[in-house]
Amino acid sequence: MKILVINPGSTSTKIAVYENETPLLIRNIKHTTEELAAFPRIIDQFEFRKNLVLKALESEKIPFDFDAIIGRGGLLKPIPGGVYEVNDVMLDDIIHAMRNHACNLGCLIASELSLLLPGCRAFIADPGVVDELEDVARITGSPLMPKITIWHALNQRAIARRFAKEQRTKYEDLDLIVCHLGGGISVAVHRHGRAIDANNALDGSGPFSPERAGTLPAGQLIDLCHSGRFTNDELKKRISGRAGLAAHLGTTDIPTVIRSIEAGDHHAKLILDAMIYNIAKEIGAAATVLYGKTDAILLTGGIAHSDYVISRLKERISFIAPVYVYPGEDELEALALNALGALRGELPIQVYK
Ligand SMILES: Nc1ncnc2c1ncn2[C@@H]1O[C@H](COP(=O)(O)OP(=O)(O)OP(=O)(O)O)[C@@H](O)[C@H]1O
Ligand SMILES: CCCC(=O)O
């Protein structure tokens, strides 16, 4: 069976072609800020990114012939994890999505390309809106604003399953805290295979990150909203996109920040150390969800490549449970395996409503 995988990120479009479990092509197409600046909204990048996928296949001489195309799912309504067939309800929700994120393009491109091939199916799996929260985790101090989660469900679950396999056990038998350290940072509690708590890494809660503000003081935020200093869109960008390290230091690039620190920049050190401090606090809070009985803490995402960040984080969290580090992400393979499992009837194909 042949699968095309499409994972649109904020600065890249990653694609892969799998023949059963074997990767035939893995390609990371990077986009410059200038290239993307030409598009007012992320959804406007649809044709551009779709054509790049087609060109990459052509240049690698991969025939356009697939049993399924799977995209990294978008910011839909909250849904349980798993594989979903792309349908009209999903496409309509994505086109009218309240939150901008490059992953919204995943199901749109998968759907459009699948229509070119009779019998080819379009899927998404474990989108960022996967919601398996316990009821108690959903309640906030205002009934107007129940907690929502937006997190790196796909990569977290893939890494958790990889860890379980390495330990010769099942993901469903473990109690884990998984932290994805990327442009956004998510911390989730996986209790016996269910993510019973996770933050909203995009625009809600948790530690600040290279691009995101994380939890903010609510009163000050309301004042800022009414200050007349910013439009609605500008303020949203100051929460997600131009927040966190980008706002404090003008870069989201950890190696650049570390070079500044090594050159004696005390402010850069203060901000990066504050980010690490906040991540550690979120992981500490997650340990209470498991009553302190955590089998392991897994750290993943691009920042997990950084010894500076990981060593300081470990100093604060190692008392909770053994810490394992998985730099980068496994999203392309996770998507491919989800599509294969769905086609083979090994995984249920869920219907988005
Ligand atoms: N080798 C490295 N050493 C240190 N930091 C790195 C390295 N590679 C990437 N990073 C950092 O990882 C972050 C990006 O991580 P990642 O690629 O997982 O995120 P993304 O895909 O852009 O966004 P997200 O994971 O939130 O969807 C950036 O802050 C980047 O500077
Ligand atoms: C689903 C992705 C969340 C994030 O980018 O922060």
Q: Which pLDDT belongs to residue 35?
A: 86
Give the residue from 278, 334, 272 showing the smallest Cα distance to 303.
Answer: 272
Same CATH topology for 2-131+331-351 and 153-327: the answer is yes
Residues 6+ apart with CB under 8 A from 108: 43, 46, 71, 74, 91, 94, 95
Q: Which pLDDT belongs to residue 34?
A: 80
What is the spatial distance between Cα 16 and Cα 57, in angstroms, rounded to a whole number?
9
Please choose from 11, 101, 305 the residue to mutate so as to test ligand 1's pocket, defined by most ligand atoms within 8 A of CB.
Answer: 305
Q: Read off the pLDDT of residues 243-295 as tens digits, 9 standing for 90 and up.
A: 999 999 999 999 999 999 999 999 999 999 999 999 999 999 999 999 999 99
Task: State in Å: Cα 83 to ligand 2 middle.
Answer: 18
What CATH topology corresponds to 2-131+331-351? Nucleotidyltransferase; domain 5 (3.30.420)
Q: Is residue 157 in contact with ligand 2, taking CB distance under 6 Å?
A: no
Task: State in Å: Cα 212 to ligand 1 middle.
Answer: 13
Q: Read off the pLDDT of residues 141-178 as tens digits, 9 standing for 90 and up.
A: 999 999 999 999 999 999 999 999 999 999 999 999 99
In the chain, where the domains are located: 2-131+331-351, 153-327
Please choose from 245, 254, 309 the residue to mutate so as to test ligand 1's pocket, defined by most ligand atoms within 8 A of CB.
Answer: 254
Is a pLDDT exceeding 80 seen at residue 307? yes
Is a pLDDT exceeding 80 seen at residue 33? no
What confidence category does residue 30 fall into, taking pLDDT thresholds of 50, 70 and 90?
A: confident
Contact 93, 303 (CB under 8 A): no
CATH code of the region 153-327: 3.30.420.40
The tokens for 263 are 């050159």
What confidence category does residue 182 fall into, taking pLDDT thresholds of 50, 70 and 90?
A: very high
ipTM of this complex prediction, to 2 decimal places: 0.97
Task: State in Å: Cα 301 to ligand 1 middle.
Answer: 6
Contact 343, 77 (CB under 8 A): no
Query: Which 3 state secondary structure label does DSSP give 300?
Result: strand
